[in-house]
Amino acid sequence: MFKKYVHYLQNNPQHFWFKRKIWGWGWIPATWEGVLTTLVYIVLVSFLVLHREESIPGSPDSGSNFLVLGLPIILLTILFIFIAYKKGEKPKWQWGLDQKEK
C-alpha cells in the first residue's frame, strides 16, 4: 500500500503542489512547494498560539482574544486553503485509488 501511495504522489505530470487525499476529502503536499507552504502555515499558527499570553492585552473576557488570536488563525487558514485549492488537484471525496490510478 505504501508503494502505491508514493507512486500516486510521484505521478504528478501537472506538477500540483497538493494532491487529493486517497481517503476522504482534502489534500496532501506532493512537491517541495506544498511541503514548504504547509510548514510555514504550521509555524505561523504555532507562533500565534505559543505567544498568545504576551500579545493579548486586558482581561480574557474583553474580546481581544478573538482579535489577536482567533482572527489571524482564521485568516491564515483561509489563505492556506486558497493556496491548496489553486495549486492542487480539485478536491472531491475519494475512497481509495481510482482504477486508472492503480
Question: What are the sequence ranges of the domains in the chain?
Answer: 32-89
pLDDT at site 81 = 94
CA distance 21 to 94: 7
pLDDT at site 76 = 96
pTM for this entry: 0.76
CA distance 20 to 9: 9
Q: Which residues contact 100 (CB under 8 A, 6 or more apart)?
A: none
Cα torsion at 33, 34, 35, 37 (round to 10°)?
80
CA distance 19 to 12: 8
pLDDT at site 1 = 61
Asked whether the beta carbons of 89 and 15 are under 8 A apart, the reply is no
pLDDT at site 15 = 87
The mean pLDDT value for 73-92 works out to 92
